[in-house]
């Protein structure tokens, strides 16, 4: 059951793939859902507001955050690429978001971090939230910065944050790696709901994955959030094996948890 826990909830990155998947789902969590992205993406529907904002624009972000009770932050660059765009959206943008949250008294944020914060751990390892970050690129570095920044804003200002290290959230797993990293859209919504409604969130790092038989991540340090995945990549295993070839164990994309991100670049701005 989804609890309508907030009067007004902000969803950034609303025009992206996960934003589109969550748009209708998150309406059950609030009375009004404020949607934001950098460019126009249509008209507001019932119980919706739309406020466009460039995350690198502090004034625009301040206006975007004003009046909301909690934030689901998906906005920013979502793939590996040149450093400068990632710096603007994911690093400066993260600072602008938390400064606005501090100024306007927002007490809880669900931050879309990424498995690429730990992408240089090997696929034969199982890690938990206490393992040090090992980013696999500029994108992963930006998410590691976001986790540290949100920790600072919790320690100093008491803004609770769930850093959700999203694995691979698609309608179904696309390859063998995603049998370990897959997170269904419904489980993503269940996870966000748990983060928004748990009585005490504090600063929590949670690996975003469904109930997959194969996993590299141990979420036992996040039991206080109360998330229970209900979907599993296992139902897709036979089909994934049938359409994909056996992995080349000498390929870094197979050796490391970050997959192809570990080989991306170098880039020039």
- Over the stretch 76-111, which tens digit does the pLDDT of each residue have? 999 999 999 999 999 999 999 999 999 999 999 999
Instruction: Please choose, from the candidates 142, 114, 148, 159, the residue with its C-alpha nearest in 3D space to the C-alpha of residue 259.
Output: 114
Active site residues: 139
Q: Per residue in 27-83, pLDDT tens? A: 999 999 999 999 999 999 999 999 999 999 999 999 999 999 999 999 999 999 999
- Whether residue 1 is contained in a domain is answered as no
Q: Per residue in 122-166, pLDDT tens? A: 999 999 999 999 999 999 999 999 999 999 999 999 999 999 999
Q: What is the CATH number of the domain that holds 34?
A: 3.40.50.720
pTM score: 0.97
Q: 253 vs 2, 179, 249, CA distance in Å? A: 37, 15, 9
- Whether residue 208 is contained in a domain is answered as yes
User: How many domains does the chain divide into?
Assistant: 1
3-state secondary structure of 42: coil
- Whether residue 268 is contained in a domain is answered as no
Question: Which domain covers residue 90, as residue numbers?
Answer: 6-263
């Amino acid at each position: 059951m989804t609890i309508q826990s907030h009067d007004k909830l902000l969803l950034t990155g609303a025009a992206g793939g996960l934003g589109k998947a969550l748009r209708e789902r998150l309406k059950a969590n609030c009375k009004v859902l404020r949607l934001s992205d950098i460019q126009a993406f249509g008209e507001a529907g019932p119980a919706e507001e739309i406020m466009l904002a460039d995350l690198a624009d502090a004034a625009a972000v301040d206006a975007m955050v004003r009046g909301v009770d909690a934030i689901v932050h998906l906005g920013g660059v979502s793939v590996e690429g040149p450093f400068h765009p990632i710096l603007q959206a994911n690093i400066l943008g993260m600072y602008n978001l938390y400064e606005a949250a501090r100024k306007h008294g927002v007490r809880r944020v669900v931050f879309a971090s990424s498995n690429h914060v730990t992408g240089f751990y090997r696929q034969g390892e199982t890690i938990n939230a206490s393992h040090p970050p090992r980013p696999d690129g500029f994108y992963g570095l930006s998410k590691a910065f976001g986790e540290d920044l949100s920790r600072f804003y919790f320690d100093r200002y008491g803004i609770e944050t769930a850093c959700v290290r999203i694995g691979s959230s698609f309608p179904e797993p696309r390859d063998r790696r995603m049998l370990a990293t897959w997170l269904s859209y419904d489980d993503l919504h269940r996870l966000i709901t748990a983060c928004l409604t748990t009585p005490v969130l504090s600063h929590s790092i949670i690996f975003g994955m469904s109930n997959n038989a194969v996993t590299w991540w141990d979420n036992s340090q996040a039991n206080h959030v109360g998330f229970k995945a209900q979907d599993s990549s296992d139902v897709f295993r036979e089909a994934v094996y049938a359409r994909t070839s056996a992995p080349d164990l000498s390929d870094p994309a197979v050796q490391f948890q970050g997959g192809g991100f570990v080989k991306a670049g170098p880039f020039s701005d």
